[in-house]
Amino acid sequence: MVNTEWTLVRGFKEKTLMSVVRKPITPKPPRTREKVLVILREQCKQCMLCIEFCPKNVLCLTDIYNRKGYHPVTACDIDACVNCEFCERICPDMAIFLADRKEAERAYKEGALEEGTEIPEFERDIPEKEEK
Ligand code: SF4
Ligand code: SF4
C-alpha cells in the first residue's frame, strides 16, 4: 500500500528543492557593449599578437593588403567581443583599440574617420555612411 502522506511530503520537498536549484528560464536581454572595436588597417603589421591573445577568438586576418604590404586584422566574430581590451594592450603598433561607442558612431556616420579605419560592428549594423 502506498503511503499517500509520505508521497505528498516527498513531492513537496522535491518541488521546493527544484525551485531553489533550477533558475527560471527567461530570455536574456540583448547585450550592449559599452565600447566598440576599432582597427586601423594601415597601422597593422600582421604580427598576429592580438589574434593569439584574444580570449574569444574574435580576430582574424583579411585577404587584402595594406600600404605596407601586410594583411591587416579584422573581426571575424565581432559578436563574441567582450571589451576586455587585451588586443589594445598587446598591439605594438596601436592598430587596434576600443573606443567610446557614441563618439565612434558619430564619427562613422559623419564620415570623419581616417581612411583605412574599420569598425566591424558598424560595418554590419550601420550600412549607410553620410558623405562629407
Ligand atoms: S576586446 Fe577582447 S574580446 Fe574583444 S577583440 Fe579585443 S581581445 Fe578580443
Ligand atoms: S597586434 Fe596590432 S599589429 Fe599585430 S596583428 Fe594585431 S592589430 Fe596588427
Q: Residue 106: which CATH number?
A: 3.30.70.20
- Provide the domain limits for residue 72: 35-125
Question: Is 28 inside any structural domain?
Answer: no
Task: Give the ligand at the shortest distance from the Cα of 60.
Answer: 2
Question: Is 121 inside any structural domain?
Answer: yes
Question: Is 120 inside any structural domain?
Answer: yes
Question: Is 92 inside any structural domain?
Answer: yes
Cell numbers at 36, concatenated = 566598440
Residue 13: the pLDDT is 59
C-alpha distance across the termini of the chain, in Å: 85
Question: Is 132 inside any structural domain?
Answer: no
What pTM did the predictor assign?
0.76
For every residue of 68-100, DSSP letters joined together read: TS---EEES-GGG-----HHHHH-TT--EEEEE
Question: Is 101 inside any structural domain?
Answer: yes
Q: What's the total number of domains in the chain?
A: 1
Classify residue 57 as left (phi > 0), alpha (psi -120 to 50) or beta.
Answer: left
Residue 132: the pLDDT is 42
Say which amino acid occupies 26.
T
Residues 69-90 have pLDDT tens digits of 999 999 999 999 999 999 999 9
Question: Is 7 inside any structural domain?
Answer: no
CB 108 within 8 A of CB 126: yes
Question: Is 119 inside any structural domain?
Answer: yes
Low pLDDT (below 50) residues in the chain: 1, 130-132
Kindly give the distance from the C-alpha atom of residue 14 to the centroid of ligand 1, in angstroms, as a whole number: 43
Kindly give the distance from the C-alpha atom of residue 98 to the centroid of ligand 2, in angstroms, as a whole number: 14
